[in-house]
Structure 1
Amino acid sequence: MSEPGLWDRVFNFADYGELLGLVHNSIVAGAVLGLIGGLISTFVMMRDMPFAVHGISELSFAGASGALLVGANVVLGSLLGSVLAALVIGMLGSRARDRNSIIGVLMPFGLGLGVLFLALYQGRSANKFGLLTGQIVAVDTPQLSWMLVTSTVVLIGLLVIWRPLAFASVDPELAAGRGVPVAALSSVFMLLLGLTVAMSVQIVGALLVLSVVVTPAAAAMRVTASPPLVTVLSVLFAVGSVVGGILLALGSSIPISPYVTTISFMIYIGCRMLGARRQRRGWATVGRTEAPLSAAAR
């Protein structure tokens, strides 16, 4: 039997129907992750915190790899690592400069710790690789249950703090002057962000979390300035990226993350091009309007 070619390794839809039944949990988890990731992505961009997402993911990776090493629940380990990182960043980094310096310290520490744990782990290499780049069939029923519970907590938390958090994200000084508990909201948001990052690691791996928690809202903000529409588009982009990536990766022999990140990136490029086109049209309209006004003035 001949070895599969490069194209067959990337896209192979033979026995697709049978394989589809094996990833039911992953598809459900991907849709849930897209919903939560899309929602929280809006605030990540509003608060200029993409770097924080990457820092939290490194500690999440360390927690998951540590749990893998000792035979504990990997999802729980990932959650603990993410929450710890989020709390540290939230408590110590009140200003952007302080926050970024703390994240810069945490990132290499978390990544190095995770690499150490994986080097000591003697089990299947796929388990090691999956923590970094994701696995299409990695979500079993217990993991799905963990994700659903965590998603519910994050969703309820976001709904409770949505309006004051939006106010504090746009103008923290004015919000503080109006009596909004800006510091407390920041800590709560960091906790919710940590939980979301921990869920993302289970699907796309620790190295590529940004494609789920940052890119969707970054793309949406290129085509609209309406906060409600940004949120809706961000959720649609995130769900489309994750679920679409799972469906494309189903017949391949490579991890899911390249598919998710490629779809997410293409959405961003498309939105950026559309936004630039609309902006040029706006300038052209302004130019045509100003010309008659100038002639009238003369």
Structure 2
Amino acid sequence: MYDMLIGPFVEFEFMRRALVGAVALSLGGAPIGVFLMLRRMSLMGDAMAHAILPGAAVGFLVFGLQLIPMTVGGIVAGLAVVFAAGVVARFTALKEDASLAAFYLISLALGVIIVSMRGSNVDLMHVLFGTVLALDDPTLLLLAGITTVTLIALAVLWRPLVLDCVDPGFLRSVSRAGAPAHMVFLGLVVLNLVAGFHALGTLLAVGLMMLPAIAARFWGRDVTALCGIAILFGVVSGYAGLVLSYNMATPSGPSIVLMAGLVYAVSLVFGPRGGLVPTYWPARHREA
């Protein structure tokens, strides 16, 4: 049991780095996922994860697999798509979700083409699915920095963000902080997706952000509890996914997201806040 669950992290440095990266992504991304879920913007996270690909691909095209150019490119592309989708939604009859869907599909196709112009299939797989087992010191520092910025920003903007989820009309009537807080929040979404991109790739970056947050909905009620539970689920998913990847020789990134999916499935069935068994089994028992 030791060799299966603990030994890999004691023996191999790359496993420890991967675990630290997964913890950092969970600390910053899971609370963001909770707010996306509460705002009914869960699919927006997936759209924005694809939206960062062209910028990261341009950084790759010019500088290769270098951390800073791909990070800056991803941030610029993500913010540009958010801004463009907002402009389209404001000045046309198209809703914001539809405009985001259009932009993210275009971004995904464009990003894949740009990477293919210079890179090999290995590079394309790296961009799409990440390399969580190859995180180096600069990348870990970047993940830690983004997590730190995210937690500080959430602490400062906690009240307007929560009010915007619960009663946006009341927030608008008592404060003008709603719009600035929303813009900062969208920036945090982009930052955390860029962090996830470096570890899990553009296709899976949103997995460790949204799945723990959605699973937490079945275990908690207030926002603080939801964020804490989501972080715990993210850390557990990262650890379990790495253990699965090491022992079963499966791809590490998909294994982490698969474990997060398993946590969601268990929560869906057994979660005390709306899970299938607590909701329907007692009713059948009373009927009998």
- 2:47 touches 2:101 (CA, 8 Å); kept in 1? yes
After superposition, the Cα gap between the structure-2 partners of 1:200 and 1:151, relative to the gap in structure 1 and judged at 3 Å, is: same
Structure-2 residue corresponding to 1:22: 14
AA of the residue aligned to 1:22: F
Mapped partners of 1:86, 1:151: distance in 2: 21
For residues 29 and 126 of structure 2, the distance between their equivalents in structure 1, rounded to whole angstroms, comes to 20
1:238 aligned to which of 231, 234, 237: 234
Q: Does the 8 Å CA contact 2:37/2:213 hold for their aligned counterparts?
A: yes
Tell me, in whole angstroms, the C-alpha distance in 1 between the residues paired with 2:80 and 2:251. 28
**Shift in Å, 1:45:** 0.4
Matched to 2:152, the amino acid is I
Corresponding residue for residue 42 of structure 2:
50
Unaligned 5+ segments in structure 2 are none
Structure 1, 133-142 or 184-193: larger mean CA deviation: 133-142
Which of 93, 98, 104 is the equivalent residue of 2:95? 98
Counterparts of 1:247 and 1:77, CA distance in 2:
32
Residue aligning to 1:8: none
Quote how far apart the aligned CAs of 1:287 are: 7.4
In structure 2, relative to structure 1, the CA distance for the partners of 1:183 and 1:281 (3 Å cut) is same
Greater Rg, structure 1 or structure 2? 1
What's the CA shift for 1:85?
3.0
Q: Residue deviations 1:266-290, cap 9 Å, x none? A: 11110010122222356469879xx
Change (3 A) 1:19 1:251: farther
Cα offset, 1:57, TM superposition: 0.9
- Aligned-partner Cα distance in 2 for 1:92–1:58: 18
Change in CA separation of 1:286 and 1:230 when aligned onto 2, cut-off 3 Å: farther
Give 1:171 shift: 1.6
Name structure 1 gaps, 5 residues minimum.
1-11, 289-298
CA drift of 1:223 comes to 2.9
The alpha-carbon distance between structure 1 residues 207 and 280, as it changes in their structure 2 partners (threshold 3 A), is same
Task: Give, as a single letter, the amino acid of the residue that structure 1 aligns with 2:59.
Answer: A
Alignment coverage as a number of residue pairs? 274
- Whether contact under 8 Å (1:90, 1:186) holds in the other structure is no
- Distance (Å, rounded) in 1 between the aligned partners of 2:32 and 2:212: 10
* Correspondence 1:272 to 2:264: no
- 2:134 aligned counterpart, secondary structure: coil
- Counterpart of 1:193 (choices 166, 184, 189) is 189
Q: 1:140 to 1:267 in 2, by over 3 A?
A: same
Tell me the CA shift for residue 22 of structure 1.
Answer: 2.4
Give the direction of change, closer, same or farther, for the CA distance of 1:17–1:37 in structure 2 (3 Å limit): closer
Name which of structure 1's ranges 279-288 and 187-196 shifts more when overlaid on structure 2: 279-288
Structure with the larger RCO, 1 or 2 (CA within 8 Å, 6+ apart): 1
Q: Paired residue for 1:41?
A: 33
Aligned to 1:107: 104
Aligned residue number for residue 126 of structure 1: 122
- How many Å apart are 1:26 and its aligned residue? 2.2
CA RMSD of aligned residues (A): 2.8
Mark the CA change 1:107 to 1:223 in structure 2 (over 3 Å): closer, same or farther: same
**Whole-Å Cα distance in 2 between the matches of residues 128 and 253 of structure 1?**
21
Give the partner amino acid of 2:279. Q
Once the two structures are overlaid, the 10-residue window that deviates more, 23-32 or 279-288, is 279-288
SS in 1 for 2:133: coil
Q: Secondary structure at the match of 1:250?
A: helix
Instruction: Give 1:148 shift.
Output: 1.6
Check 1:190–1:91 CA distance in 2 against 1; reply closer, same or farther (3 A cut).
farther
Letter in 2 for 1:137: L
Please, which of 214, 221, 224 is the counterpart of residue 218 of structure 1?
Answer: 214
Distance in 1 between residues matched to 2:10 and 2:175, nearest whole Å? 57
Amino acid at match of 1:248: L
> Which AA in structure 2 matches 1:105?
A
Shift in Å, 1:31: 0.6
Q: 1:50 touches 1:210 (CA, 8 Å); kept in 2?
A: no
Q: TM-score, normalised by structure 2?
A: 0.84
Inter-CA distance 249–110: structure 2 relative to 1 (3 Å threshold): same
Instruction: Return the letter of the residue paired with 2:32.
Output: I
Identify the range of structure 1 (241-250 vs 212-221) with the bigger mean alpha-carbon deviation: 241-250
